[in-house]
């Protein structure tokens, strides 16, 4: 097989914790050095929380695995300081085409509007994605990353968790306030605690063939139903970094996984698609089955599950790793607020409620895509083919075609942390929405809105506030800051004006006002994970304090006491 990547090997290092006679205590221990675990360590560090990351291996992903990295994931990684090498290395794309047989039935653009810092998607092999995350973690002093340290035992109760860690020098014990578990879809820790991930296995198999070739195919998503080179089955083509091309071939449930991974069986499929004259080499192959499942609760005493350990979806739609990082950013600001004494325990449990919603949404989209791609009987096959036949000429039919609804930011619309609208707004940036980016200009030069929002609560307002609101807002922010809350203000000035201080930006292209439906005096409260939690046309004196308290779950603690 060809190889375009050499896996780094990270050294085992003895920790001083291994010299202790009693378990050394840490606030947070993270199990798993994959995307979710590494992201959690970086996110917690942004909030000033130290963590220990334990991984039983000493390298990054073997094989390309997840390759489609969504805009929202890259925006999260941009906060962590590791997005740019991903974008530089990855294949940027936003365009896709869908075929039925030989005929293109429609095409789509995932980011038709301008003025975004981050592209709609990049294709980047998971090993690069993880490597850049590891590199960033190694730069952050709050992260203690330990390779070849395997968690073998976990005991937990309502107050703390203890673990046994196996190493080449023998075992040692740790205790922690919270154990974050990101040890994969088959999570040994989940199993050892007697917990389940429940769901559905779809009776179909798909072959991934990553091939290395020089080709001038466009960098876009190309999906075939009933491909002429792969009759009665679907096929997907994506370009990755290093001239590696991902081909997914639908195989059917009766396919033998071990036989299908052999080069002598892969070669005829690829040659039928590309032609015998096209030169290529196989880099990696895998056969997988769709699984959609999740835990009933991601929190078990002081153990919190993340990523595939908590929920698993089929690959079509790129909702696995992308959903995992949305879950991490949801969890970590809440955990930091709890550890700092700024929020009650009830806030932490909203990670479960909000991300259960996110998982249900991802599983629903994945299930529908799988049902459409692999009809279960003759009638659903007739329906599917009729939709595909109509999609070329009729837009209504295109909305029914499902080759995998691609990952988008989750909107926490029904969370108890939102302050409901009392004024009329456009629907786009309603409470619960992930913030949209926009170019802005500060007194330092050109910037982007998401860079300025950072990872604290932000009160964003447009133009001038009424005199009756400005001083109460200043007092509220100062009082909240004195209480230890991380909060700031950001005034947005209209296009054509100038930013007068470090707490102001100018809507230099006019798109921020459009995306957020801003009018003079419009005010937003943004959570530390850059989701909207409140907005007002006219700011009342106590509104910000009440909305921050609600976003921190104070009312939930009061309801529990009552």
Query: Is 75 in the same domain as 165?
Result: yes
CATH number, domain containing residue 456 = 3.40.30.10
Q: What span, in angstroms and rounded, lies between the C-alpha atoms of 362 and 321?
A: 11
CATH of residue 260's domain is 3.30.9.10
Note whether 472 and 546 are same-domain residues.
yes
The lowest-confidence range among 319-333, 335-349, 365-379 is 365-379
pLDDT digits (tens, 9 = 90+) for 421-478: 989 998 889 999 999 999 999 999 999 999 999 999 999 999 999 888 899 899 999 9
Residue 23 in domain: yes
Count of beta carbons in the 10 Å neighbourhood of residue 366: 26
DSSP 8-state code for residue 438: -
* β-bridge partners, 166: 150
Distance CA 252, CA 287 (A): 11
- Sign, CA dihedral 27-32-38-39, equals negative
| pLDDT score recorded for residue 405 | 75
> Where is the domain boundary, 371, 399, 415?
371
Query: Which residue in 410, 238, 402, 430 sits closest to 323, CA to CA?
Result: 410
220 and 333 co-located in one domain: no
> Could you tell me if 233 and 345 lie in one domain?
no
The predicted model gives 360-386 an average pLDDT of 84
Pair (303, 364) in one structural domain = yes
Q: Is the pLDDT assigned to residue 179 strictly greater than 50?
A: yes
Domain assignment present for 305: yes
Q: For residue 265, what are the domain limits?
A: 200-290
* Cα–Cα separations (whole angstroms), residue 560 to 160, 302, 467, 548: 21, 19, 38, 19
pLDDT above 90 covers a percentage of the chain that reads 80
Does residue 562 surpass a pLDDT of 70? no
d(CA 14, CA 7): 22
Q: How many domains, in total, are found in the chain?
A: 3
Report whether pLDDT(97) > 50.
Answer: yes
Which CATH number belongs to the domain containing residue 320 in this structure? 3.50.50.60
Across 198-221, average pLDDT:
89
* Cβ(142)–Cβ(48) below 8 Å: yes
**Residue 195 · residue 186 · CB < 8 Å:** no
For residues 180 and 318, membership in a common domain is answered with: yes
Same domain, 349 and 494: no
Please state the pTM of the whole predicted model: 0.95
Residue found by looking up tokens 């937003």 in the block: 524
Residue 425 lies in a domain: no
From CA 222, how far away is CA 238, in angstroms rounded? 7
CA atoms of 13 and 4, how far apart (whole Å): 28
Q: Which of 261-275, 469-483, 502-516 has the lowest mean pLDDT?
A: 469-483
């Amino acid at each position: 097989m060809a190889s375009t990547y050499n896996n780094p090997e990270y050294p085992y290092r003895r920790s001083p914790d291994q010299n202790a006679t009693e378990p050394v205590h840490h606030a947070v221990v993270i199990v798993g050095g994959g995307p979710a675990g590494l992201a959690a360590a970086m996110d917690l560090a942004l909030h000033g929380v130290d963590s220990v990351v334990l991984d039983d291996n000493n390298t990054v992903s073997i094989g390309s695995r997840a390759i489609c990295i969504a805009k929202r994931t890259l925006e999260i990684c941009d906060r962590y300081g590791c997005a740019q090498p991903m974008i530089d290395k990855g294949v940027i794309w936003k365009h896709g085409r869908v075929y039925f047989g030989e005929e293109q039935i429609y095409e789509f653009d995932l980011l038709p509007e301008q003025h975004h810092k981050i592209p709609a998607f990049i294709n980047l092999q998971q090993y690069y994605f993880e490597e850049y995350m590891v590199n960033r973690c190694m730069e952050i002093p709050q992260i203690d990353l330990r390779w070849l340290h395997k968690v073998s035992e976990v005991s937990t109760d309502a107050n703390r968790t203890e673990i046994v860690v196996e190493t080449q020098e023998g075992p040692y014990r740790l205790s922690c306030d919270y154990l974050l578990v990101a040890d994969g879809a088959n999570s040994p820790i989940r199993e050892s605690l007697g917990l389940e991930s429940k769901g559905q296995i779809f009776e179909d198999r798909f072959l991934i063939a990553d091939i290395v070739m020089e080709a001038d195919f466009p960098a876009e998503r190309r999906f075939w139903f009933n491909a002429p080179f792969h009759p009665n089955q679907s096929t997907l083509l994506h370009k990755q970094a290093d001239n590696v091309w991902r081909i997914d071939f639908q195989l059917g449930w009766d396919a033998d996984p071990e036989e299908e991974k052999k080069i002598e069986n892969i070669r005829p499929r690829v040659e039928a698609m590309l032609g015998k004259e096209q030169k290529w080499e196989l880099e990696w192959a895998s056969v997988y089955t769709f699984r959609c499942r999740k835990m009933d609760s991601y929190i078990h005493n002081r153990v919190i599950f993340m990523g595939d350990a908590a929920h698993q979806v089929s690959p079509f739609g790129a909702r696995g790793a992308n959903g995992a990082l949305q879950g991490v950013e949801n969890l970590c600001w809440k955990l930091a607020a709890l550890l700092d004494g700024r929020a009650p325990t009830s806030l932490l449990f909203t990670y479960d409620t909000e991300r259960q919603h996110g998982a249900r949404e991802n599983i629903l989209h994945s299930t529908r895509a799988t049902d459409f791609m692999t009809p279960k009987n003759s009638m659903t096959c007739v329906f599917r083919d009729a939709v595909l036949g109509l999609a070329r000429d009729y837009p209504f039919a295109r909305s029914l075609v499902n080759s995998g609804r691609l990952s988008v930011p989750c909107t926490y619309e029904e969370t108890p942390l939102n302050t409901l609208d009392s004024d009329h707004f456009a629907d786009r940036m309603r409470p619960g929405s992930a913030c949209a980016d926009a170019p802005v200009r500060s007194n330092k030069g050109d910037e982007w809105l998401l860079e300025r929002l950072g990872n604290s609560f932000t009160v964003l307002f447009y133009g001038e506030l009424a005199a009756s609101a400005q001083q109460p807002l200043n007092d509220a922010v100062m009082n909240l800051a004195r209480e230890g809350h991380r909060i700031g203000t950001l005034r947005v000035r209209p296009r054509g004006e100038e930013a007068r201080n470090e707490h102001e930006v100018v809507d230099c292209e006019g798109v921020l006002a459009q995306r957020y439906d801003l009018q003079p005096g419009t005010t937003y409260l943004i959570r530390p994970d850059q989701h909207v939690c409140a907005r007002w046309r006219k700011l009342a004196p106590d509104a910000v304090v009440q909305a921050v308290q609600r976003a921190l779950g104070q009312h939930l603690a009061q309801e529990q006491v009552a």
